[in-house]
Amino acid sequence: MITTAFAVDGKAIPEIPFDAGESYSGLLPISSKADETKKLFFWFWPSKNQSVDDEVVIWLNGGPGSSSLFGFLQELGPFMWAPETAQPYRNTWTPVNLTNVVWVEYPVGTGYTEGTPTATSEEEIALEFLGFWQNFMTLFSMQGRKVYILGESYTGWYTPYIGAAMLDAANTTYYDFRGAALVSPIITSLDGILANSVGAASFAKDNNNILNLNDEWLTFLNNKSAACGYDDFLSTYLVYPPKPGPMPFPFPIEESGYGTFDCDTRNVIVIGSQYQNQCYNVYNILDNCPPRSDVIQNPIPGTEPYFNRADVKAALHVPATTDWVNGGRIVFANSSLDGSSPQNDRSLMPIISVLPKIIEASKRTIIISGAMDSVVLHTGVELAIQNMTWNGAQGFQSGEMEKFVVDPFEEFVPETFSGLGQLGKTHTERGLTYILLQRSGHFVPTDAPGGFYKAVEFLLGRRDDMEGGTSFYWSE
């Protein structure tokens, strides 16, 4: 079989002290052209659950330019290698227990991918993904399978555009898109104002028992938030049902495309928190000091990041000359990394058309936020939902939320622990489910693995609703 060339020996993945099982990896072109130079990297894990031969799930990390192999190794892969742990371990909560999952490095310019980025919009990179996806589905003879997408952070832009492109293709042989889950997503404008400035003072008020901002700093933050118009905006537009019509955008933008420094209230929190706690973690404010070693981001001195090791590249069918990094590369043409022209994504906000499109076309769409995430504040996500129209109405009509509960597990999970009981709150209207997880930060599959697993079960139709607890499926 042609797939043999992509087979990964589960007994020979470097540093893995067990047989990891069946998987396939490598590079595939984004088109059928014989001279195509752009290629995306994938790592495909068929599920041991034999009843799911009609579906496949895609995982994407954000950035833009963040590698999905970060998500694989430290969030939801079948094995994980957390910071400051001696070796990898099995992940009980991987969605591979539920279905077939492929991690894709996307777009061109990310991780192991090959070629020079030429796209300047989400529409263009989505079409590149579709070309890759047709080649992938053909390679593994998976034509006609249902397709779901899981994505994190900047994939709040990637995923709706890919889903919309699949729907527009009207070709269910390759693109039978059925739903998506957006984790800690950026779905508003990329200037950062709605995502993490408007709600910053409210975030600090709710969490100052953790942040420990002193009175002087809190006063400075609150005065700045009021002067910049954020308080009035939040109280006017984060309401249920929503204020009719599109939200105005009265906030100034720098030439760089970001909000002004004078009104960067999130940065006020970051600086003030770092004065109080040098170990402040923007991704989860509950975290303590950052790890002294991390095989992806901060390896032990004298060693390479795991995915840049020669033996790992050989095991995954990647050219030895490829230099792997997690982020820090251009993925949109005409961009720079010095701040003068940041990642030059010229597309419209997803909430304008493509996100409503995929909600309306699929049975279930999920948005998950972590209440401890200070990178993409949950209030920014909630503002975006209230500014979006889908299935005949604008926003959520009710702000009432139900308990999001994970019941005690039916068996002991020794390797990867997860919280149980009420982990947060959830609300569903007109095909869109929103979940707010109380102790989770940006990386939800890591911070609340049982809650994330339950959400994926719901997305795939393994459960009818988000009520009650969970009877998990464990693959053998």
What beta strand segments (E) does 211-330 contain? Answer: none
Please name every residue paired with 422 in a beta bridge, in sequence order, or none if there are none.
405
User: From CA 404, how far away is CA 216, in angstroms rounded?
Assistant: 37
User: From CA 156, how far away is CA 54, in angstroms rounded?
Assistant: 26
Q: Single out the catalytic residue among 67, 264, 442, 447.
A: 442
| Closest by Cα among 466, 471, 457 to 95 | 457
What beta strand segments (E) does 286-401 contain? Answer: 364-370, 389-390, 393-394
Tokens of 322: 């490829």
How many helices (H) and strands (E) the chain has is answered by 13, 15
Tell me, yes or no, if 206 is annotated catalytic. no
Q: Are the CB atoms for 460 and 148 separated by under 8 Å? A: yes
The helix/strand/coil state of 194 is helix
Tell me, yes or no, if 373 is annotated catalytic. yes
- Other beta carbons within 10 angstroms of residue 440's beta carbon come to 30
Q: Single out the catalytic residue among 373, 418, 440, 447.
A: 373
User: From CA 364, how far away is CA 433, in angstroms rounded?
Assistant: 7
Q: Are the CB atoms for 146 and 169 separated by under 8 Å? A: no
The helix/strand/coil state of 105 is strand
User: From CA 366, how far away is CA 23, in angstroms rounded?
Assistant: 27
Tokens of 444: 């939800």
Q: Are the CB atoms for 376 and 365 separated by under 8 Å? A: no
Tell me, yes or no, if 153 is annotated catalytic. yes
- Tokens 């699949």 belong to residue: 166
First to last CA, the chain: 26
User: From CA 373, how far away is CA 51, in angstroms rounded?
Assistant: 36
Q: Single out the catalytic residue among 23, 25, 153, 374.
A: 153
**From residue 373, how far is each of 71, 203, 283, 332 by CA, in Å?**
17, 10, 5, 26
CA atoms within 13 A on the CB side of 79: 20
Say how far residue 462 (Cα) sits from the centre of its chain.
Answer: 21
- Tokens 């779905």 belong to residue: 187
Q: Which are the contacts of 358, defined by CB distance < 8 A and separation ≥ 6?
A: 159, 160, 163, 164, 167, 177, 179, 180, 365
Give me the helix-helix angle, 265-276 and 200-211, nearest 10°.
10
The helix/strand/coil state of 69 is helix
Residues identified as active-site: 153, 373, 442
